[in-house]
A and B are shown apart, each in its own frame.
Chain A
Amino acid sequence: MATLDRPVVKPRPVYLNLLAIRQPIPAIVSILHRISGLLLFLVGIPVLLWGVERSLASPETFAQWKAAVAHPFAKLVLLGLAWAYIHHLLAGLRHLVMDLHIGLDLPAARRSAAITLVLGLLLTLIVAVRLW
């Protein structure tokens, strides 16, 4: 049995490369829940506190704040934060509904994930229209 004296070791594909796998919609909504949450912590909270402080301190700082957020780049940042807040809120609502054992089967879970993603983008679009 000369042909079998060496064990056949073929490199098996270990498919854990998350960027190579096509992610199902619930997975996309889930990772965006994390990313949006981190974004809200890193950028959202300081921007919120700074904005509230400036807008309340005096008429002058209020005017400065209004001028600052009128800048196109600032609007882009605010729009990004608006998406993060809206998506995070909707994805959280989806969790709360699923905690009540509603929509747990796969087709329903996929549908609610798609609704979360699309509704988040639509509401962000409304914010964009209001901003510009």
Chain B
Amino acid sequence: MTDPVVHAGSAHYGWRDWLSQRVTAVIMLLYTLLILGVVLWNGGLDREVWKSLFASGAFRLASFLFMLSLLFHAWVGVRNIAMDYIKPTAIRLTIQVVVICVLIAYAGWTIQILWGGN
């Protein structure tokens, strides 16, 4: 365990952010390669291939994992940008709250798209 006295004043999330940015990045990379492979394999995407792809439960789960990774990755990235450039605390926190709300809304939209009974 880390010594709390030595690390007093540190928020501790630096290394966790570092790790999560990489884990989510690799998940998105693998999904991107999967999509690229499907497109190249089929020589493009028409509506039939597209529909049948999303008819698969495994693909929907993979898409969900991709979107959650994307949304979390975006949160860490946007928060870092906000912490670097927006000095007034009130404005920065307001923006961060708005970003969180938007990202959660996107997660809901994703669920609607994937399991909304298309």
Encode contact with B along A35-49: 1 for CB under 8 Å, 0 otherwise.
001101100011001
- B109, A49: Cβ atoms closer than 8 Å: yes
| Contact of A9 with B by CB under 8 A | no
- A55, B77: Cβ atoms closer than 8 Å: no
State the majority secondary structure of interface residues on A.
helix
Number of interface residues of B (CB under 8 A): 22
Encode contact with B along A17-50: 1 for CB under 8 Å, 0 otherwise.
0000000000000000010011011000110010
- Bound Cα distance A108, B47 (Å): 45
Q: Which residues of A contact B110 (CB under 8 A)?
A: 49
A49 and B113 in contact, given A56-B118, A62-B47 (Cβ under 8 angstroms): yes
CB < 8 Å neighbour of B74 from A34, A45, A62: A45
| Contact of A96 with B by CB under 8 A | yes
| Contact of A92 with B by CB under 8 A | yes
- B29, A89: Cβ atoms closer than 8 Å: yes
Encode contact with A along B28-47: 1 for CB under 8 Å, 0 otherwise.
11001000000000000001
A40 and B47 in contact, given A49-B106, A57-B118, A92-B25 (Cβ under 8 angstroms): no
Q: Which residues of A contact B58 (CB under 8 A)?
A: none
Distance in Å: Cβ of A49 to nearest Cβ of chain B: 5
| Contact of B59 with A by CB under 8 A | no
Contacts A34-B77, A49-B109, A89-B29 aside, 12 further interface pairs with beta carbons under 8 A come to A37-B74, A38-B78, A41-B74, A45-B71, A45-B106, A49-B106, A53-B109, A53-B112, A56-B118, A95-B22, A96-B22, A96-B26
Binding site for A on B (CB under 8 A): 22, 25-26, 28-29, 32, 47, 50-51, 54, 70-71, 74, 77-78, 81, 106, 109-110, 112-113, 118
Binding site for B on A (CB under 8 A): 34, 37-38, 40-41, 45-46, 49, 52-53, 55-57, 59, 62, 89, 92-93, 95-96, 99
